[in-house]
Structure 1
């Protein structure tokens, strides 16, 4: 009955193409509210800084805007309309929510913006959360890494994915989970916010390298599966009115695995570029700090040298 109900809801969908992505928009209340509030509060924070003469990097604002736009497109555009119809469409959505959105939002530095603009009491509450034991546990790099690489396996090779196809609530919670786990992993590595779990740049690169084989292996595993993910869900849709244009479920599953593999490597490359730029900038700032320290020491030595060269007073001068 559930499959029949969903088939009835999507039976009017046209073939999946670029036109469908633009025409099959929906107004999902939760993503719309999250997008409007998150974007609005960020803009208010930036305007407050500018009014008092402070500077906020434009690149951070652009990164935040890209992240929120990617989130809304993944959850409300035509891509969301087809995410329970085509596994390949779902996989694109998966990669956007788990990689593109967290990476972009982390580069936006919203915590730093909040700490610089909030009144004293709310800022104190935020600092208390950042220094809490829960934040330290969630920011522990090995835990975040484990959640990030193992969650997709748990999603696709347990009953979780099948449940997400049949339950709207589970489906929405899956989206929340993808963004949250991605944020736990990306924020301490590429973010500039003062969060627990920050590690040195070499270890950040190591964590990034370690994620790539997991995405590739999962993608190859899905491509080679003879059993369909989601059980009889996709065949049931294929046998209904959508069967006129739906691809073979097994072929679509192979495409989905290829998307996971290729998109993971592509975003991983962007990840590497971001880490490299941050590492270079950090090294340059460290070099500037070291130069300033050496300059201070040199000036101190120059001031001390004339005093050391000044002749000591004679006995007669001291007696006078």
Structure 2
């Protein structure tokens, strides 16, 4: 709240309540996903693990990133801090890491590594490894949302076409993996000591929950695109009106 107040004074406009609500929802989803009941459920049952994956890697990042935390930080920070943030945002490393296809590979591609290798089975026997996977879910998911539709500054961000293709590719890859896990529940994840029926249910959660999260991200992408088009169209109309011949009739 203190950061919001400072940003409002510096930017000379109120901070959108929807962004505050989004951040609160994102933090709440993370807290719910790592709460003792859900954590225990995730440890003993693949559907609980999949619920954690969806909450931490797909739904919470929507709220956290669409809340525009970097914009808020820029508005609430001193000039030296803003310059350092700008340096990070403009770095070549972040340009590569934050490219939509790189982010998609980190958020969705690594799921193939998790579920098609013994890595998932290893997380069930190691609390530290399980925690690291959960941290990866949040970070990679947030990076992907930022790369696709984040409202925060992103110098050098590719255009709408590239981001849309990356989103569609990630959606297809996520859905395919869910179908693969369902069709071969007796084989994947390797080494997991669960009933086949529970693995099938987890795969269904992955498929349908992923569709919902990706649809919400697509809505955010097209909403941002539309909002960007409206000022441009208004500017075009103003320019046309300014150069119209005297006495000309506008339609």
TM-score, normalised by the number of residues in structure 1: 0.71
Post-superposition Cα deviations, 1:240-270, rounded to whole Å, max 9, x if no partner, equal xxxxxxxxx2110000001111111111222
**C-alpha distance 47-126 of structure 1, shift in aligned 2 (>3 A):** same
Could you tell me whether the CA contact under 8 Å between 1:68 and 1:105 is conserved in 2? yes
Q: Is residue 171 of structure 2 the alignment partner of residue 212 of structure 1?
A: yes
Q: Distance in 2 between matches of 1:268 and 1:56?
A: 27
Deviations 1:198-241 (A, max 9, x none): 2222332222222222122111111122125362544xxxxxxx
- TM-aligned CA deviation for residue 192 of structure 1: 0.9
| 2:36 aligned with 1:86 | no
Q: How many residues align?
A: 244
In the other structure, the counterpart of 1:242 is none
CA distance in 2, matches of 1:165, 1:252: 15
Q: Is the 8 A contact 1:140 1:197 kept in 2?
A: no
For the Cα contact (< 8 Å) 1:103–1:190, is it kept in 2?
no
Can you list the C-alpha shifts for 1:165-201, whole angstroms capped at 9, x where unaligned?
A: 1111111110111111112211021111112452222
Structure with the larger RCO, 1 or 2 (CA within 8 Å, 6+ apart): 2
1:64 is matched with 23
Quote the residue 1:280 is aligned against: 226
Question: For structure 2, which runs of at least 5 residues remain unmatched after alignment?
Answer: 247-251
Question: Does the 8 Å CA contact 2:118/2:189 hold for their aligned counterparts?
Answer: no
Change over 3 Å in CA distance of 1:139–1:151 after alignment to 2: same
Q: Which has the larger radius of gyration?
A: 1
User: Contact between 1:188 and 1:197, CA under 8 Å: does it hold in 2?
Assistant: no
Show the counterpart of 2:249: none
Cα separation, 2, equivalents of 1:197 and 1:178: 25
Distance 2:166 2:188 in 1: 31
Q: Counterpart in 2 of 1:175? A: 134
Checking the alignment, whether the CA contact within 8 Å between 2:117 and 2:189 is kept in structure 1 is no
The answer to which of 132-141 and 88-97 deviates more is 132-141
2:118–2:191 Cα contact (<8 Å) kept: no
User: What residue in structure 2 maps to residue 49 of structure 1?
Assistant: 7
- Cα separation, 2, equivalents of 1:265 and 1:232: 25
Shift of residue 138 of structure 1?
Answer: 0.7
Residue of structure 2 equivalent to 1:307: none
1:216-295 alignment, distance < 5 Å: 216-225=175-184, 226-227=186-187, 229=189, 231=191, 233-234=193-194, 249-295=195-241
Taking the aligned partners of 1:232 and 1:260, their CA distance within structure 2 comes to 17
Once structures 1 and 2 are overlaid, which stretch shifts more, 107-116 or 191-200? 191-200
**1:70–1:267: structure 2 CA closer, same or farther, 3 Å change rule?**
same
The alpha-carbon deviation at position 73 of structure 1 amounts to 0.7
- Any gaps of 5 or more consecutive residues in structure 1? 1-42, 235-248, 303-320
RMSD: 1.9
1 CA distance for matches of 2:239 and 2:151? Answer: 24
Q: How does 1:1-320 map to 2 (within 5 A)?
A: 43-51=1-9, 53-196=12-155, 198-225=157-184, 226-227=186-187, 229=189, 231=191, 233-234=193-194, 249-298=195-244
